[in-house]
Structure 1
Amino acid sequence: MKLNRRTVVLGAIASVAAPLPALAQKRYGPGVSDTEIRIGSTMPFSGPVSILGTLGKTSLAYFNKLNEEGGINGRRIKLIQYDDGYNPGKALELTRRLVEQDEVSFIFETVGTATNNAIYRYLNGKKIPQLLIFSGASKWKDVASAPFTISGMPTYDAEGRVYARWILENMPTAKIAVLMQNDDFGRDYLAGIKAGLGDKAKDMIVAQSTYETTDASVDSQVVSLKGSGANVFISLSNGKFTVQSMKKAHDIGWKPQVILPLGSSSLAAIMRPAGAEAGKGAITGVYNKPVSDPQFDKDPGVVGLREFLKKWLPEADPTDSLVGGGYTAAQVLENILRRCGDDLTRENIMKQASSLSGLSTPLLMPGITLSTSEKDHELYGHLWLQRFDGNSWVPFGKALSV
């Protein structure tokens, strides 16, 4: 085509008038500017499970690293964290403060089923993303009732099914005793275990006992469970209660096969305080490579974690699974925000979080990738099992579908 002045001018006008691609248009929601993305989080930095605050400390350190490197798409991440003490009422109060006063874009990584239960209606009602929370309650899979909530860990129900499958395959005549926290955390795990055992559940589970998070000790429950004659002890517990349950079982001479929730398997917070002999042989789930296992010493993901901690969180124990949990969660969120480009509305942040496909991060175990969809917020489709050898956790078998 022959160009003349009229053609060029008209072409220029048409070019300006034409809509730009969506990614080129800057669209911001609350908490976002050209230079910053404000994120909110409440954490149990104090209280009965204060060790879980390690998750938040690690994520904060990771975002500090990103900020020094230029942030995400040129924007610094400002993670505002408050201590909820693992108190649901306090978590709601502080979440409202984050939204209404600090004007954060969304909520990230809140720890605990009870605390997330306290805030999810408020956040979903306002269409504020509640992302990568550390609660595996089954309700977070229900997109209809919690469309703006995505868990950052496998659901308790799915994890429980994996443990049940292992028992059926390896200890088919087992007698099972269950200690459980008396809330959705314990009930969801137990529901998964029973579903996994199927018709055999009523015969294989010979004893159950509960505790409240306000209790001082679970010693009496463990003594009672030993009396059932069980040779498998599933401790659906958290923090100090997990330590107590293993120590008491060992002290009274009870030597069952111990199974622990993956979130209650930290070397620093659980296994070492319980003692090597009390925990030796215990089994739990795992999705991150255990840094304590020598086979991963030269793994790029593990090497990267160690180098990161050396500079940004030197007081942290690299072998602590909670450190790995916070590290992976921060990397997943980084991916989500990079995918958003310059469209950082709450709607698009949620859209990107709900459309992950085969995402892998450096610390994830082989065969584990992360996917979500608008109709399915179950982030993890596979888990490994690992066994405590008295010093470290050692994965065995292969990635198992949940």
Structure 2
Amino acid sequence: MTSRSRSAVRRPAIALITLSLLGAGLAACSKPADSNGGAQTQDTPGITGTSVKIGTHTPLTGPAAAGYSPISKAASAYFAYLNAKGGVNGRKIEYVVRDDGYNPATTSTVVRELVQQDKVFAIVNGLGTPTHSAVVDYLNQQKVPDLFVASGASLWNQPEKSPYTFGFNLDYVREGKILAHYLKEKNPDAKFCVLRQDDDFGADLTTGIKQVLGDLTAEQEYAVSNESLTAQIGALKAAGCTVNLLATVTPFTAIALGTAAKMSYPAQWAASSSGGDYPSLVGYLGEDIGPKLLEGLVAANYLPFDADDEWVELFRQINTEYNADAPFTGNTVYGMSMAYTFAEALSRAGDSPTRESIVEALRSGEVMSNGITPAGFSADNHDPFAGAGITVVSKGVQAYVDGQVFTTDAEGGPVEPFSGQAVPLSGEGVPAP
């Protein structure tokens, strides 16, 4: 099994993209210069002649903070880079980040503040399935673009119910199918089991897994309020599970592997992109034991990853110059990829962007993002990616396995090899209309 080289860089993940659609006539109209000195060209919240204000909710504190707080910092760094290059159509991006502690009640509060007090143009990359579920209806009722949700739940791909919401992460059902397909090919006689979060994330990934594997030997659930997975890992061991698929966010992937090690329970472990980033997991497990426990870990991913990839090289440069040379992980790639995708959508929304025009830009199918498979946004599809590659950790390096990029649907269709090309870097990562 050969793999394209790459020191662990990658993010699961989790991701979010929503925009405002049909709405009630926010037609562009000329106005005098605004208080910021720019010529305000329309009555669209968050838009001036010189800036675009957007916001997000994300865990900067609490149990999920260590795993995901670097995402918004990476996105902010890309926007600083973009602003230094002149922004998008002459407008610089103002990115307002609010801490929700991964608590749905707090998410509701901070999102309403962003919309009603900060008057943001859009909510971009709100993080988490349980948290964003608390605000998706509100944002659509207010006709606020809800872009690139940091989650792969199927909830974000409901164009009729939620016309302003678009996802960013690979749909969890697709991801589950791709992981299960690869593992079944490699381990045809295994006893397959699942450890999953007790929400739509865990349910959707498990749905995809079962479409490929059928009935599982065992399934175990946990709540994010848990501090221990001893009972769940013990049950998997007792059931004789030999391949365990994890619908877990990063902290709980680490807890699962650490708990299994304490129980002397060897198994093949496979994680979703939301919980399989090697550098982040080493951060939880520690440099002394992390590399040993993570050896052989299988994960799915859908964004540029290899060390010599041109997107990765650009993001490393941006990270050094605009993010204080913070640790470069999958979170870094994820945050910057998402931010680039927003800039691409904004560039296609016209010289005088409105909430409706950015939604229409996504519905047009012209926004490609920068994945290893091109984005497939359309009027009928609000999910970005249809495919993913498989990564394996070997001797401290997490890398894509050559030839293991697949596409599939979120229904019962087959998992098929992807024969196309990844989206190439152009324009120094600054999208042109």
From 69, 89, 96, give the equivalent of 2:112. Answer: 96
Do the aligned partners of 1:40 and 1:98 also contact (CA within 8 Å) in 2? yes
Whether 1:246 and 2:257 are equivalent positions in the alignment is yes
What are the Cα deviations for residues 126-168 of structure 1, in whole angstroms up to 9, with x where unaligned? 1111001111101212212221111111011110011121233
Residues 311-339 of structure 1 show CA distances to partners (whole Å, capped at 9, x for unaligned) of 00124222x10110001001111111111
Q: RCO higher in 1 or 2 (8 Å CA, sep ≥ 6)?
A: 2
Cα offset, 1:300, TM superposition = 2.2
Distance between the aligned counterparts of 1:49 and 1:337, measured in 2?
30
1:61-120 C-alpha deviation (Å, 9 max, x unpaired): 111122222211111111111100001111111100111111111100111001110000
Match of 1:265 in 2: 276
Alignment of 1:70-149 (within 5 A): 70-149=86-165
CA gap 1:72/1:97 in 2 versus in 1, 3 angstroms: same
Aligned residue identity for 1:391: G
The answer to whether residue 316 in structure 2 is matched with residue 306 in structure 1 is: yes
The amino acid of 2:326's aligned partner reads A
| In 1, Cα distance between equivalents of 2:162 and 2:264 | 45
Aligned Cα RMSD in Å? 1.8
Q: Aligned residue for 1:219?
A: 230
Q: Does structure 2 retain, via aligned residues, the 8 Å contact 1:148–1:350?
A: yes
Answer yes or no: is 1:398 the counterpart of 2:404. yes
Correspondence for 1:37: 52
Aligned partner of residue 262 in structure 1, secondary structure: coil
> Structure 2 residue aligned with 1:375, among 357, 362, 380?
380
Indicate the residue corresponding to 2:422 in structure 1: none
- Tell me, yes or no, if the aligned pair for 1:135 and 1:151 is still in contact at 8 Å: yes
Partner of 2:245: 234
Q: What is the CA-CA distance between 1:123 and the residue it aligns to?
A: 0.4
| 1:262-317 deviation line (CA, Å, top 9, x unaligned) | 121222321453311211111111122335xxxx33x3222211111110012422
Where 2:134 maps in the other structure, the secondary structure is: helix
Match of 2:291 in 1: 276
Letter in 1 for 2:398: W
CA pair 24-122 structure 1, distance change in 2 beyond 3 A: closer
Distance in 2 separating the partners of 1:101 and 1:384? 41
For residues 170 and 95 of structure 1, do their structure 2 counterparts lie closer, same or farther at Cα, with a shift above 3 Å needed? same
Match for residue 391 of structure 2 among 377, 383, 386: 386
* Corresponding residue SS for 2:161: coil
Gaps of 5+ in 2: 1-26, 31-40, 409-433
How many Å separate the matches in 2 of 1:65 and 1:312?
A: 7
**3-state SS, counterpart of residue 133 of structure 2:** helix
Aligned length: 366
Contact 1:265 1:284 in 2 (8 A): yes
Kindly indicate whether residue 297 of structure 2 is the aligned counterpart of residue 287 of structure 1: no
Structure-1 separation of matches of 2:28 and 2:349: 8
Residue in 1 that maps onto 2:334 = 325
Q: Deviations over 1:149-208 (max 9, x none)?
A: 1111101111001112123322222211211111111111111111222xxx22xx1111
Q: Which runs of 5+ in 1 are unaligned?
A: 1-21
Distance of 1:172 and 1:224 partners within structure 2: 22
Q: Aligned partners of 1:23, 1:94: CA distance in 2, in Å?
A: 28
Aligned to 1:18: none
- The alpha-carbon deviation at position 246 of structure 1 amounts to 0.8
The normalised TM-score by structure 2 is 0.81
For 1:218, give the aligned amino acid: L
Matched, 1:354 2:369: no
2:20 corresponding residue in structure 1 = none
Give the conservation status (yes or no) of the 8 Å contact 1:234–1:259: yes
The range that moved more, 239-248 or 352-361, is: 352-361
* Deviation larger for 105-114 or 235-244: 235-244
Asked whether the 8 Å contact 2:57–2:98 carries over to 1, the reply is yes
CA contact (8 A) 1:226 1:254 kept: yes
1:56 aligns to 2:72 (yes or no): yes
Partners in 2 of 1:29 and 1:85 — Cα distance? 30
Give the distance between the partners of 1:62 and 1:246, measured in 2 at CA.
Answer: 33
